[in-house]
Amino acid sequence: MCQAASSVSVELLTRLVAFDTTSHRSNLPLIHFVRDYLAEYGVRATLVHDVSGEKANLYATIGPDDRPGVMLSGHTDTVPVTGQMWNSDPYRLRVKGERLYGRGAADMKGFLAVVLAAVPSMVQAELCVPIHLAFSHDEEVGCLGVRSLIEAMKQYRVRPAVCVVGEPTSMRLATAHKGKIAGRIQVHGKACHSGMAPEGVNAIQAAAPLLCWFEETAAQKASCGPYDKRFAIPFTTLQIGTIEGGTALNIVPDACRFDFEIRNVPQDDPETLLAMLRVEVDRLDRCLKQYSPDAGATLKYLGDYPGLSMAEESELVEFILALLDDRRRERIGFGTEAGLFQQRLGIPTLVCGPGSMAQGHQPDEYVTREQLVCCEMFLQRLIATLANPEAARRLEWI
């Protein structure tokens, strides 16, 4: 293996990190940069905008456009740096030894940079099987942006046959990840002076049984399953992420709000858990209305994405493993857009990319040169295989 990532990959990563694509911001400057970069090599990109017109997904095909191929997919948005203590400007790539620091370096602009660096080779290779590029927005806030791209792709005459999502897995092949449902519970009470507390309805105290339900259900899942031991945490998890309520100690609080998530293993049905939770919320709602007609409890859906579950002994798995230095399979605990491609488009999808999620979302996020090299080697082997007529003929399942 070569000892250093190509200067082109590092240069492109520098450019990509410099775009602040935190999910609440527009990603168009980055998308337009990628579009123009592809155009320099004669590759036409299609943009699929969101309803605001301030964000866009990008889709492009390199090679023959009359047959399905391999899609390389990644998101362009990043999580915020707010409240994090960085040792350097997070939007200016800092190279120190083997590490390249910057927001998104691992999650997942490192993958995007290596893919873009390989575009000239893809163009020159005269591919027999095409390579498709799909870059999305708003993955970090619930895999929202890619959904419009998926709807557009449903109308395409030719769609990809397989997909690799380049989330950071240390360049190991991930065949599955958990699904997720996120929601918000709002409890409304009746405010009054705390000296007359019995005349009010304390929304925080009323919410306590629901908080206990989450703790008890999470403990039940941990102790009774169902289990999937291929995950580091082999059971479905439930947790409260944020909670708000009250205005002053001497005022009985009239509102309490908390956000929750359920991350399920493939063997578990999150909708069943959600239905059980609705029963508890409805019970609390009826109880509170006995004390005040304005009191009550509601459950609001915030978003979800499906889990990914691919057979570990499939032709696709064997094909991708043959292109990797590390032949281990794994299952990951974080979510990706892979399940959406698999379930909504019917595209067999795997996850494999440079860097580790242990560094993603953290201050001083970084990717190592070695990881970029591993990704470069993977893409070089992929290009060589898809450009070889004999090898391409053996990929009849694509």
Q: What is the pLDDT along the chain (398 residues), one digit of tens a residue?
A: 445 668 999 999 999 999 999 999 999 999 999 999 999 999 999 999 999 999 999 999 999 999 999 999 999 999 999 999 999 999 999 999 999 999 999 999 999 999 999 999 999 999 999 999 999 999 999 899 999 999 999 999 999 999 999 999 999 999 999 999 999 999 999 999 999 999 999 999 999 999 999 999 999 999 999 999 888 899 999 999 999 999 999 999 999 999 999 999 988 999 999 999 999 999 999 999 999 999 999 999 998 899 998 888 888 999 999 999 988 888 888 889 999 999 999 999 999 999 999 999 999 999 999 999 999 999 999 999 999 988 777 777 66
* Exposed/middle/buried for residue 26 (C-beta within 10 Å: 0-12, 13-18, 19+): middle
Nearest Cα neighbor of 68 from 375, 303, 345, 361 is 345
CATH tag for 7-177+307-393 (out of 1.20.58.340, 3.40.1180.10, 3.40.630.10, 2.60.40.1930): 3.40.630.10
Tell me what pLDDT residue 230 has: 82
Tell me what pLDDT residue 398 has: 66
Pairing of strands 179-188, 296-305: antiparallel
pTM of the full structure: 0.88
User: DSSP of 261-282, one letter per residue?
Assistant: EEEE-TTS-HHHHHHHHHHHHH
Helix or strand or coil: residue 84?
coil
Among 11, 50, 65, 77, the one annotated catalytic: 77
Sequence spans of domains, the chain: 7-177+307-393, 179-305
Which CATH class, in words, describes the domain spanning 179-305?
alpha beta
Tell me what pLDDT residue 5 has: 67
CA distances from 60 to 47, 123, 146 (A): 9, 12, 14
Phi and psi, residue 190, nearest 5° = -140, 120
CB 26 within 8 A of CB 47: no
Q: Prior bond to 226 cis, omega within 30?
A: yes
| Helix residue spans in 225-312 (DSSP H) | 270-289
Phi and psi, residue 383, nearest 5° = -60, -45
Catalytic residue check, 139: yes
As a whole number of angstroms, the distance between CA 199 and CA 54 comes to 49
As a whole number of angstroms, the distance between CA 37 and CA 305 comes to 31
Q: Is the dihedral of CA 31, 32, 33, 34 positive or negative?
A: positive
Tell me what pLDDT residue 1 has: 44
Phi and psi, residue 222, nearest 5° = -65, -35
Catalytic residue check, 326: no
Helix or strand or coil: residue 43?
coil
Tell me what pLDDT residue 245 has: 97
CB 77 within 8 A of CB 54: no
CA distances from 311 to 179, 226, 327 (A): 17, 19, 16
Same fold, 7-177+307-393 and 179-305: no
Number of other CB atoms surrounding residue 317 within 10 Å: 17
CB 320 within 8 A of CB 164: yes
* Amino acid identity at 34: V
Among 139, 261, 268, 376, the one annotated catalytic: 139
